[in-house]
């Protein structure tokens, strides 16, 4: 009887610890988000669910290529997902359907092909980043509403976890 009680206590303790750690991760570190639009195709499609590391930008600065979740500057109750194209003190320019950072074309294997209008050149000041959707023709991004203040960053996308056939880690 005593052995059964200690085993039950041990199992309940483990279950409780898992639930507490899961809650901390869910609300503190990892948070799920839904991709609502085609702006990040082909890598992320409408309906995809992603996990976001909410501590990422408390510990380090965003860098080119990061997929970020942020509060939309025109309505901070909304969240957007885009890719960092240029960070602080970098000059960004879009022309001939290519992106140039500091005068050099960057490789973007993740971009959905298509024409998009020129932009810049523009120097990204300290405290801001320039973000674009991977589907440039279907994206509301820094070209439209300006540079994103880093204080609006909510986290860095970590993985697509659903649907399972689209699972991938960034």
* CATH code of residue 47: 2.10.109.10
> Is 77 annotated as catalytic?
no
Among candidate residues 6, 7, 37, 39, the one labeled active-site is 39
- Residue 25 has a pLDDT of 54
Does residue 97 form part of some domain? Answer: yes
Looking at the structure of the chain, the number of domains it has is 1
Does residue 165 form part of some domain? Answer: yes
- Residue (of 150, 169, 151, 153) closest to 161 by Cα position: 169
Asked whether 20 and 11 are in contact (CB, 8 A), the reply is: no
Among candidate residues 6, 37, 77, 82, the one labeled active-site is 82
- Residue 69 has a pLDDT of 96
Does residue 4 form part of some domain? Answer: no
Burial letters 60-77, b for 16+ CB under 10 A, else e: eebebebbbbbbeeeeee
- Residue 26 has a pLDDT of 57
Does residue 21 form part of some domain? Answer: no
Does residue 77 form part of some domain? Answer: yes
- Residue 114 has a pLDDT of 86
> Is 82 annotated as catalytic?
yes
Does residue 73 form part of some domain? Answer: yes
Per-residue pLDDT for the chain (170 aa), expressed as one digit of tens each? 555 666 666 565 565 545 555 555 555 689 999 999 999 999 999 999 999 999 999 888 999 999 999 999 999 999 999 999 999 999 999 999 999 999 999 999 999 988 889 998 999 999 999 999 999 999 999 999 999 999 999 999 999 999 999 888 88
């Amino acid at each position: 009887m005593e052995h059964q009680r200690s085993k039950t206590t041990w199992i309940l303790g483990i279950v409780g610890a898992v639930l507490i750690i899961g809650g901390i991760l869910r609300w503190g570190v990892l948070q799920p988000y839904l991709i609502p639009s085609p702006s990040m195709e082909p890598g992320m499609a409408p309906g995809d669910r992603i996990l976001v590391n909410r501590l990422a930008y408390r510990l380090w600065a965003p860098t080119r290529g990061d997929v970020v979740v942020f509060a939309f500057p025109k309505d901070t109750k909304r969240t957007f997902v885009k890719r960092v194209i240029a960070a602080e003190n970098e000059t960004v320019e879009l022309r001939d359907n290519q992106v140039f950072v500091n005068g050099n074309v960057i490789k973007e294997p993740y971009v959905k092909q298509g024409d998009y209008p020129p932009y810049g050149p523009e120097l990204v000041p300290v405290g801001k980043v320039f973000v674009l959707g991977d589907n440039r023709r279907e994206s509301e991004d820094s070209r439209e509403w300006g540079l994103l203040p880093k204080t609006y960053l909510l986290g860095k996308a970590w993985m697509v976890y659903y649907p399972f056939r689209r699972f991938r880690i960034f």
